[in-house]
Amino acid sequence: MESPFRSEAAAFRFLLITIGAFALIVVASTIDPALGFLVFLVLAGAAVAIYLRQRGPAPDREHVEHVGAPDERRILVVANETVGGQELMSVISIRALEWKSEFFVVCPALNSRLKTWTSDEDPARAKAQARLGATLERLASVGIEARGEIGDGDPLVAIEDAVRAFHPDEIVVSTHPEGRSNWLVRGVPDAVRARYDVPVTHVVVDLEAEAEAAAEPADDA
């Protein structure tokens, strides 16, 4: 949604529209106050509809500059509930074997919109911190050194913050499978691909399937 006051030119255009709209309302009210109110309602409805339908221009694709040694690869891993998933661990292990890699794990502090507006995000950050800590420990146990941080609740903002600080050569986005992933509904992997000129790998982690697979040997026993 674009603000009518995003620039001087836009504000000037908005002023002209306001003049026209209020001229219509005043003229209609002069004829009949009820007509004036009707015109006001119609114009207000039209304004809200146009405002909601507006889409800002797509942001330019951002170039992420490589920093560090030429043979080193910096990999940004973005995941929250799926951060400890087997599939994601496999991808990280493969990258660690393929390249001299540096990993940076970001766990967005996922919070519901209701909680964001009515409460604080401390519980969401605490959960994300616990997952992040466990994952970094697990990576360290297999010899992969990684750093990490808690990110913004919006995964795209969290990625943007991390990209500016870390300058990744590849971004790995881990999500739940289709149908269970809010990030897929929002098109996060595609949005990241569209925004940055580095390779983006989308890893699907099915935690339920992993839990079932892990439970099977116990059941058999």
Q: What are the residues binding another protein (CB under 8 A)?
A: 3, 5-9, 11-12, 14-15, 18-19, 22, 25-26, 29, 36, 59, 65-68, 70, 152, 157, 160-161, 164-165
Distance, CA of 120 to CA of 180 (rounded, Å): 25
Distance, CA of 13 to CA of 15 (rounded, Å): 5
- The nearer residue to another protein, 22 or 51, going by C-beta atoms, is 22
Smallest distance from another protein to CB 14, Å: 6
Smallest distance from another protein to CB 151, Å: 10
Smallest distance from another protein to CB 3, Å: 6
Beta bridge pairs of residue 75:
103, 170
Smallest distance from another protein to CB 57, Å: 11
Q: In which order are the strands placed within the sheet that holds 72-78?
A: 146-151, 100-108, 72-78, 170-175, 200-204
- The nearer residue to another protein, 87 or 121, going by C-beta atoms, is 121
- The nearer residue to another protein, 140 or 157, going by C-beta atoms, is 157
- The nearer residue to another protein, 85 or 151, going by C-beta atoms, is 151
